[in-house]
Chains A and B, each alone.
Chain A
Amino acid sequence: MTDSIATRITRAKLRLLDMHHKAHSGHLGGNLSCLDALMVLYHRVMGPEDRFVLSKGHSAGALYVTLWSLDKLSDAQLDTFCRDDTMLPGHPSGRGIPGLLFPTGSLGHGPSLAAGLAMAARHQGSGRQVYCLCSDGEWQEGSCWEALIFASHQRLDNLTILIDQNGLQGFGSTEEVISCRDLAPRLAAFDIDVCSVNGHDPAQVEARLRAPRGDRPRVLVLDTVKGNGLPFAGRLESHYLPLPDADYRAARRALEAASAP
């Protein structure tokens, strides 16, 4: 019997915790805020020909464990994460990993890249769908809005942009930094299909991704919590800091308890 999506997500979160802890790597918070949606996207929505662009490259860990959950990366490969001679640096290199098309990490690149992929699919008569995952702070980059204007004008109905709206960025909250807690009203002015969902509810995310739409690109705003499930969830520490041993053990216990039947 196939595992449920919830079971797979829990397993992926535990593997992510383990991978980051062993590598003493930070950015765990932004990985955990988007992992539910990434797992839904890869396991329940995307077809084999569809394309994905990780614009928020600092969530590479979440993508790596998602690919691991699909047997596209091995445990041995994950064990090299952020170590010397790895194919899995802290931000994707765009080389050598199936389906990872571009090097990302500098914010604001993904929407344009995804728009180009979507234009190519249309030109080639392909039914390929293109998905792009951004952070919310990333939308302070003007290039994101350039891409949105373009995608809207070109009526790229095969393009879906997901925004991991966890409300925290590098040195403060989005509210503190640019007086923006919710991007959705701003995005709605661009003549695109905008909707918001609880980014930690796999059923909601899947339903919105599968919902019919018109001839416009779609933006799905994922309301999320940075470091969801961690002792310091929702705090800025989750953006940068590696997990101390005690927090790592506590996080594992919390995830295992939450997934217990």
Chain B
Amino acid sequence: MRNALSSAIMRLAEDESVFFLTGDLGFMALEGVRERMGSRFINTGVAEQNMIGVAAGLAREGLRVFVYSIAPFCYARPFEQIRNDVCMPELPVCLIGNGGGYGYGYMGPTHHALEDCAAMAALGLRVLVPAFDQDIPAMLAGCNAPTYLRLGYALQPEGATIPDYAPWRKILGGERGVVVALGPLAGVAWRAFAAWPASARPSVWAVAELATALAPAEFWAEIDDSALYVIEEHVETGGLGASLALAIMKRGLIVRRLAHRYALGYPTSRYGSQGFHRAQCGLDENGLREMLGRNHS
């Protein structure tokens, strides 16, 4: 998604109020942004606390600021600066964390971001998790409040047209329950089930913004009295599954079954690619098919 991000930022770059700050990352991805934005592109160096503070100072003077780093360096290292400097004054700073979930795979656990959505949502930031590259321009256009954008690696549905961007949208119809996928896992779910007949597969909803308040009436109607499968590359606490379960209870809905697949961390203390970790958590295509089979048996 980095190239999609780069293209989207370059489209915004004509606006002289837009700044882009990077924590010394973006090699072979953001060179075009740097060239287009000139002095409004700032490599703040390996100093994330300062980067967030500078972003807040710029935003306080009416500028729109995007801040970029590998996800954990973006949300975890400068957590208090995000809380005090950006969220308390409600400034339009968009934090872009690349490699959400296990995205940095072999780079190891320090580079993974498994609890980022919960942490940022708890501070009151909008949490955006694009499912597909084409989601990004619409998301950036609406960044006028403290925002966390978690970038991952999109799996595009092959031979199918994705519906226009919406924070919550159905990307595959089905009759056997509802899969609700956070961000790029929507593409994994699509690949897992698209070849199944509609009568035998679940529908798949892609969630690109964590807030359950953005789910449309059609979604609530579909899950009512249905089987629900929530999948997210994020820890169990504070993510999509937890917030959705609470929303369901508040609405007084009944789901016949709630299955939740989420990031388990490192259950074998072994490390590998994003695919390796997804498989360990049952979040790969086979794991999702197995989840459906087991729950329908």
Contact = CB atoms under 8 A, between A and B. Distances in A.
A114 interface: yes
A103 B57 contact: no
Contact of A109 (B39, B45, B85): B85
Given A106-B80, A109-B84, A101 B54 contact: no
A215 B59 CA distance: 24
B158 interface: no
Contacts of B45: 146, 149-150, 153
A102 B83 CA distance: 12
- Select the residue from B19, B58, B59, B80 with max chain A CB neighbours within 10 A: B58
Interface in A99-142: 101-104, 106, 108-109, 111-121, 123-124, 142
A112 B60 contact: no
A95 B59 CA distance: 16
A143 interface: yes
Contacts of B218: none
Nearest to A115: B54
Nearest to A103: B88
A162 interface: no
Contact of A119 (B47, B57, B80, B89): B57
A112 B54 contact: yes
B47 A117 contact: no
Contacts of A229: none
B52 interface: yes
Interface residues of A, number: 31
A147 interface: yes
**Majority SS of interface residues in chain B?**
helix
B237 interface: no
B6 interface: no
B39 A123 contact: yes
Interface string B59-88: 111110000000000000000110011001
B40 A147 contact: no
B206 to A, nearest CB: 35
B132 to A, nearest CB: 33
A116 B84 contact: no
B88 A150 contact: no
Contacts of A111: 50, 53
B49 interface: yes
Contacts of B52: 112
Contacts of A146: 45, 47, 49-50
A118 B80 contact: no
A101 B81 CA distance: 14
A113 B85 CA distance: 8
Contact of A94 (B40, B63, B88): B88
B188 interface: no
B243 to A, nearest CB: 27
A14 B63 CA distance: 40
Contacts of A150: 44-45, 47, 50, 54
Contacts of A121: 61
A115 B39 CA distance: 15
Nearest to B48: A146
A120 B49 contact: no
A147 B58 contact: no
A87 to B, nearest CB: 15
Contacts of A115: 50, 53-54, 57
Nearest to A101: B60
A116 B55 contact: yes
B81 A112 contact: yes
Given A102-B85, A102-B89, A120 B58 contact: yes
Given A103-B89, A108-B49, A116 B40 contact: no
A149 B56 CA distance: 18
Contacts of A118: 57
Given A103-B84, A112-B81, A149-B47, A123 B40 contact: yes
A112 to B, nearest CB: 2
A109 B57 contact: no
Nearest to A104: B84
Contacts of A94: 88-89
7 contacts: A103-B84, A112-B50, A115-B50, A123-B58, A143-B50, A143-B81, A146-B50
| 9 closest residue pairs by CB, A with B | A116-B57, A112-B53, A120-B61, A146-B50, A146-B47, A116-B54, A143-B49, A117-B57, A112-B50
